[in-house]
Structure 1
């Protein structure tokens, strides 16, 4: 108990430093033995930074690593050139990227919601913890790569429950082909429309047509779409079996067009497993010679792992408990494993209500800020945080929020007294960080 409170106090002191709105421009934060300047965008917390370098997807015997290897093996066996795998794998790329990499290179508009401080973990205005592995796409294309997988941890501010965690793992991929590769058996066809080839320097690509980009021929787009969907269906069948039901849903992503999401019918419901599409030609042009067409896809490892192994809580991915890890150690990567709970520990639920300061309203207060604070103080014993109630006083017009915080340890029973102490620390942190008044 004493050690827990020491960690909480220490964590909160750093938390205040990271979130201080009065931080001077010379302030810095140290990440992976490098110092980074901070500014009014800085919102990374010590708790989030503690997940860096864990590399669960590379940890032998970890369920994330088992599924990662199954995906890699599928692409290695499905695509070969001269007896060697066509796809190269990048699974240890630095998690700190520039806003140019994460947004600009991918044609994400400046006013897009995904750029908001409420959605991302910023080191400063120019740098952030990558929000998707696609952030490395352009740099690898510029390096001259045609077919590659990008695998690693990504960071997004989100709600707190059994299926959401601020850190998760993604597999992203790009496969590009030149005319002679794509139309190997269809000589005379072209990737690009004639009017694009005639004035490619001044041509502005359009995505007004839902079936294709204006620069691409319909034949090239449809052939790539067919390849993409067949390859991804093959992957899903390798993971979930040949009889898995699937469907394609039209989608929108700033960096692909057309775009689709794939859903599978799993355990009596449709579950989204990946997003994909034809890479916007502007991205390829900015990365190098414009003589190819490409498809790309991205999937979350945790979602697949939880479905395949029947793991009920995403926090278990970070467990160091031998009762969890030994269920996956020394297993064949294709083994049919069903997670067996070691034991079930009870929940402790405490509500926290507070009046907002005058400068904030129930519409402008960012719940993700509060979620980060709760996680930073409470750590991994926070199972869920839900906005329970909004209230406006009829006379004073003061505004209030009430959050329900569910505490549960994955490896032992929490006492109510222990939870109450942590809850008090969260109350203090909320008062100091947001200027609220506890009700």
Structure 2
């Protein structure tokens, strides 16, 4: 029995569709083939529009063949889609696989800089002694940096603390004593504070000096404080900081904001090294902040963090602390 032209078209369509679907490796292309062959306006629908010209005997045969062709194409589409999705997943898994046997990419942990370590250690000691941490601005007025600290404009002590002067009469502070003035203006005795911060002075840089350095100052104001209280506080602090074996001496000195005043030296590498200045708060300083010096007395002390770091870690040159040399810093 001969086949009709429409049956031949259906057979050719199946062969063409199966071949095209088998060779595609892209899900988007696969969807385009589904529309091309099985869509409402696809080739199968176009062929079946000619069934109206068939005889009643041919229509059942062509209809059955059309269903077989449709099922064959749809089955091939489903199988190819499943295969492509599986391949896509396997490729993604392979690309994203983490090999847990490979060495990890590590970042070295940072360490506390020796200067920060000293500051933290000092603050822990004084907070344990009942002191409060106070801070203030690095750019100061002449009043807070000098005048309120009993150092008027014509005072020779200013020559020892020459600094960087800014427009508008401001300057970079030469000590954190300015923090003490600001704190006393806003608080009533009794007072016990420790003030850390960076300070600036015109100084010749060498193995033990720097124009920019870090300082810590302490202040205590109360009724009946004496120089013996100051010495006891400093000795207790230095013993906790360096141990009982470190020799300490007090040496008479002068500061415009304390009277009497003293330098504190420690023995370092066989010689005495000045590490602190201290004294009883001058009555004029107490008057400047509104305290009655007949009722209250106080003591103060200040020291450079760098000097303490040098003694604590046996560092021979202060400039090593600023060079950011990891070979040096990783030792601490």
TM-score (norm 2): 0.62
Deviates more, 1:135-144 or 1:70-79: 70-79
Q: SS in structure 2 opposite 1:307?
A: helix
Q: SS in structure 1 opposite 2:320?
A: helix
**Contact 1:152–1:171 (CA under 8 A) maintained in structure 2:** yes
Aligned structure 1 segments of 4 or more residues deviating by more than 4 angstroms:
none
Q: How far apart, CA to CA, are the structure 1 residues paired with 2:192 and 2:208?
A: 31
Q: 1:157 aligns with which of 195, 202, 212?
A: 202
After superposition, the Cα gap between the structure-2 partners of 1:116 and 1:261, relative to the gap in structure 1 and judged at 3 Å, is closer
Q: Which residue of 2 aligns with 1:399?
A: none
- Gaps of at least 5 residues in structure 1 are 1-58, 80-86, 183-222, 329-439
TM-score (norm 1): 0.47
Task: Name the larger-Rg structure.
Answer: 2
Number of residues paired by the alignment? Answer: 219
Q: How far apart, CA to CA, are the structure 1 residues paired with 2:111 and 2:257?
A: 33
Within the alignment, does 1:119 sit opposite 2:170 as a pair? Answer: no
Within the alignment, does 1:231 sit opposite 2:233 as a pair? Answer: yes
Q: How far apart, CA to CA, are the structure 2 residues paired with 1:114 and 1:260?
A: 15
Instruction: Report the RMSD for the aligned CA atoms in angstroms.
Output: 2.1
Within the alignment, does 1:62 sit opposite 2:106 as a pair? Answer: no
Within the alignment, does 1:142 sit opposite 2:151 as a pair? Answer: no
Per-residue displacement from partner, 1:283-329 (whole Å, max 9, x unpaired)?
1122134242111111111111112112222222223332222222x
- Gaps of at least 5 residues in structure 2 are 1-109
Per-residue displacement from partner, 1:26-69 (whole Å, max 9, x unpaired)?
xxxxxxxxxxxxxxxxxxxxxxxxxxxxxxxxx96011111112
Q: How far apart, CA to CA, are the structure 2 residues paired with 1:117 and 1:299?
A: 16
- Mapping for residues 307-386 of structure 1, pairs under 5 Å: 307-328=311-332
Q: SS in structure 2 opposite 1:109?
A: coil
Q: Report the structure, 1 or 2, having the larger strand content.
A: 1
Q: Which residue of 1 aligns with 2:308?
A: 304
Q: 1:282 aligns with which of 269, 275, 284?
A: 284
Q: 1:262 aligns with which of 244, 261, 264?
A: 264
Q: How far apart, CA to CA, are the structure 2 residues paired with 1:117 and 1:72?
A: 28
Per-residue displacement from partner, 1:144-187 (whole Å, max 9, x unpaired)?
06111111111011112222221001101110113xxx4xxxxx
Once the two structures are TM-superposed, the CA of residue 255 in structure 1 deviates from its matched residue by 0.5
Q: Report the structure, 1 or 2, having the larger helix content.
A: 2
**Contact 2:219–2:300 (CA under 8 A) maintained in structure 1:** yes
Q: How far apart, CA to CA, are the structure 1 residues paired with 2:330 and 2:242?
A: 23
**Contact 1:114–1:120 (CA under 8 A) maintained in structure 2:** no
